[in-house]
Amino acid sequence: MIGRNFRFFGITLKAVGWIALSATGQSVTQPPANTVTPPVSRPELNPQVKHRNELFIALMKRRRLACAGHSPSDHATQLLSKLSSGEVKLDNKDQRSLTRSLLAALDVPVSSQLLVFSGSASQGLNVNPKNPRAIYFNDEVYVGIVPGGLLEMIGVDANIGGVPYTFQNVGTGRTPTTTGGTECMRCHSGQQSGFAPGFLTRSFVPNDNGLMLGTQPPGNEGHERPLGRRFGGWFVTSARPDIFGKAGLVARTEEANPRQVIGYKTTHPGQLYDSKIHLAESSDILANLLHEHQIGFHNRVARVLMSASDDGCQDGERVFPTHAQDIAELVAYMLFRNEAALPEDGIVGDPGFIKDFSRNRRAAKSGAALKDLDLTKRLLKHRCTYMIYTRPWLEMPSRVKDKIYAKLHSALLGADDTGSHLPAAERREIVQILSETLPDLPSAWK
């Protein structure tokens, strides 16, 4: 493999390329300089594909304009700086030790563990029902680990969005090194995340080898997706199988044709593998649902930041949604306007995770907080996202954030229908909570 440094949204990263080899394993010989190579005839792209390519290029141009000269300050990047200076040290004697010490350094609880067994990500060839990927998270940073594979983390920057890193020489006893790259953006800046640098929570029912079968139902990431369309390829514990029927489901396929489904079977964490390969055995339903809420929030914020940087982007109004539309969609999401209903008898989250989730709860004088859980018909008692307290939100450019605050205030006052799904008493309580706990609200809120 060969590597070279390059700049990505103001970050110096290392790109990795492959040396081309012939069938005999020798380097491919380049033709002599005087050889005339006939032009390659390329078929015309169909209009839909051509439009999508132009859309992606233009959106990436917007993102570069927005992030020009910006140095990321997310939790993951700051941790790497502390590792470099020796302020923080990680235990790298083996993969489990490195994972545990990394989570401790990032203040990410082990109780947040989620387990994914479909091969739908960069290490997909190593992920299957016998070797699931573990994901850990808090409000601002996400860590992924594939047993026997790589350790990854993604921080969230107020101007850039997701900032990915991968740990190298895991389990060697030496200080682990890290690389970052743009390969992740092939999927994480695609149609599913609105062409903004974002996160994915795919739902596929795989076979025993983790091979994804079928296609993911369309729809934005986050809490709006109906429960019956989620969790294909995920383990979900503490949940009713008749509601989350895709969770733990594995397709049985023909041996000669692994894409030909002949039936399904259900498996559970630790049933097909030694549960000790991960730090915990659970993949709690509440952790899964809150993780999806956060992913949807990050993606919508990234689209707002992107659409705020239209300068120099030709035909922006013709091709893309307006900035005001992106803000309206974000505010509706923040207020859980189209939240998918929970089962009639609600859900029960893991007590350990609930305790860890509530550690940074910010209560108003009344004792109410945005992290108060409902879990009967909806996730939160006061339907306004707690992600509004995170540093990526608080450090968002004020020219963007002030517009969001104005729309959010209007919705909570009942001046438009964005918050019409909330009873007046709930809207008043949300305003009171925010006014007493959020430091940078405009004076109009006080």
**In this predicted model, what pLDDT tens digit does every residue of 260-299 receive, in sequence order?**
888 788 888 999 999 899 999 999 999 999 999 999 999 8
Query: What pLDDT does residue 126 have?
Result: 86
Q: Which two tokens stand for residue 127?
A: 């992920």
The verdict on residue 41 lying in a domain is no
Burial 13-32 (b: 16+ CB within 10 A, else e): beeeeeeeeeeeeeeeeeee
- The predicted pLDDT at position 314 comes to 41
Any domain includes 18: no
C-alpha to C-alpha distances, 36 to 39, 138, 193, 307, nearest whole angstrom: 9, 57, 43, 45
Percent pLDDT > 90 in the chain is 41
Identify the pLDDT of residue 334. 98
Band (420; pLDDT cuts 50, 70, 90): very high
202 CA to centre of own chain: 10
pLDDT of 215 > 70? The answer is no
Neighbouring C-beta atoms of residue 104, cutoff 10 Å:
14
Residue 122 covered by a domain: yes
Instruction: Give the pairing of strands 114-116 and 133-137.
Output: antiparallel
| DSSP code for 28 | P
My answer on whether 350 and 250 are in the same domain is no
Q: Is the pLDDT at 44 greater than 60, yes or no?
A: no
Mean pLDDT across 310-331: 63
Residue 87's φ and ψ, nearest 5 degrees, are: -65, -35
Cα–Cα distance between 163 and 133 in angstroms, integer?
20
State how far the Cα of 419 lies from the Cα of 410, in Å rounded to an integer: 9
| 398: Cβ contacts below 8 Å, ≥ 6 apart | none
Residue 25 contacts residue 86 (beta carbons within 8 Å):
no
Strand partners, 145: 134, 151
- 8 Å CB contact between 319 and 356: no
Give domain status of residue 58, yes or no: no
Residue the block writes with tokens 């517009």: 403
Distance (Å, rounded) from C-alpha 246 to C-alpha 115? 14
The residue to which tokens 């109780």 are assigned: 111
pLDDT at 20 over 50: no
Residue-level pLDDT at 217: 55
Which of 262, 277, 292 is the endpoint of a domain?
Answer: 277
Average pLDDT of 15-20? Answer: 27
- What pLDDT band is residue 35 in, cutting at 50, 70 and 90? very low
Residue 306 CA, chain-centre distance (Å), reads: 17
For residues 360 and 254, membership in a common domain is answered with: no
Half-sphere exposure of residue 75: CA atoms within 13 angstroms, side-chain side: 21
For the cut 60, the answer to whether the pLDDT of residue 43 exceeds it is no
235 shares a domain with 328: no
User: Which pLDDT score is estimated for 312?
Assistant: 36
Whole-number pLDDT of residue 324: 85
Instruction: Tell me: do 327 and 265 sit in the same domain.
Output: no
From the list 57, 55, 72, the residue with the least C-alpha distance to 9 is 72
pLDDT at 238 over 50: yes
Query: For residues 383 and 264, which has the higher predicted lDDT (pLDDT)?
Result: 383
Q: Are residues 358 and 434 in the same domain?
A: yes
Tokens, residue 445: 């809120």
Spatial separation of the C-alpha atoms in residues 45 and 153, rounded to whole Å: 36
Q: What is the pLDDT of residue 113?
A: 97
**Position 259 confidence tier, pLDDT thresholds 50, 70, 90:** confident
| Residue 59 belongs to some domain of the structure | no
Do residue 260 and residue 324 come from a single domain?
Answer: no
- Of the chain, the end-to-end C-alpha distance in Å amounts to 58
Same domain assignment for residues 271 and 354: no
Kindly state whether residue 287 falls inside one of the protein's structural domains: no
Q: Which of 42-56, 71-85, 96-110 has the highest mean pLDDT?
A: 96-110
pLDDT at 125 over 60: yes
Overall average pLDDT of the 355-374 stretch: 97
Say what the pLDDT of residue 254 is.
Answer: 83
Percent residues over pLDDT 70 in the chain = 74
- On whether both 111 and 218 belong to a single domain, the answer is yes
What is residue 252's predicted lDDT score, i.e. its pLDDT?
A: 86
pLDDT band at 8 (very low <50, low <70, confident <90, very high): very low
pLDDT of 188: 52
Task: Report the SS3 class of residue 98.
Answer: helix
pLDDT given at position 50: 46
The domain in which residue 144 lies consists of 75-277
Q: For residue 88, is it within any domain?
A: yes
Q: How many CB atoms lie within 10 A of CB 385?
A: 22
Are 77 and 51 in contact by the 8 Å Cβ rule? The answer is no
| C-alpha radius of gyration, the chain, whole number | 23
Q: What is the mean pLDDT of the chain?
A: 78
User: Would you place residue 190 in the very low, low, confident or very high pLDDT band (cuts 50, 70, 90)?
Assistant: low
375-396: average pLDDT: 95
- Structure-block tokens of residue 35: 């050889």
Q: Both 370 and 433 in a single domain?
A: yes
Confidence at 184, pLDDT banded by 50, 70, 90: low
- pLDDT (0 to 100) of residue 197: 56
CA-CA distance, 433 to 388, in Å (whole number)? 12
Exposure letters 47-64 (e unless 16+ CB within 10 A, then b): eeeeeeeeebebbbbbbe
Give the residue-averaged pLDDT of 205-230: 76
208 shares a domain with 86: yes
23 occurs within a structural domain: no
292: nearest Cα among 221, 219, 203, 392: 221
Listed residues 253, 277, 301: the one ending a domain: 277
Burial class (CB in 10 A: 0-12, 13-18, 19+), 443: exposed
Q: How many domains does the structure of the chain reveal?
A: 2
Mean pLDDT is lowest, of 123-132, 406-415, 420-429, for 123-132
**Residue 133: what pLDDT?**
93
> Does the pLDDT value for residue 436 go beyond 90?
yes
With a CB cutoff of 8 Å and minimum separation 6, the contacts of 384 are 334, 335, 336, 370, 412, 430, 433, 434
Distances in whole angstroms, Cα of residue 107 to Cα of each of 54, 100, 136, 177, 320: 40, 10, 10, 20, 38
Per-residue model confidence (pLDDT) at position 13: 34
Task: Write down the residue that tokens 């921080």 correspond to.
Answer: 155
Half-sphere exposure of 241 (CA within 13 A, CB side): 7
Indicate if 254 and 119 belong to the same structural domain: yes
In the prediction, which pLDDT does 31 show?
Answer: 38
Q: How far is CA 120 from the centre of its chain?
A: 13
Do 322 and 267 have their domain in common?
no
pLDDT at 194: 55
pLDDT confidence bin for 70, thresholds 50/70/90: low
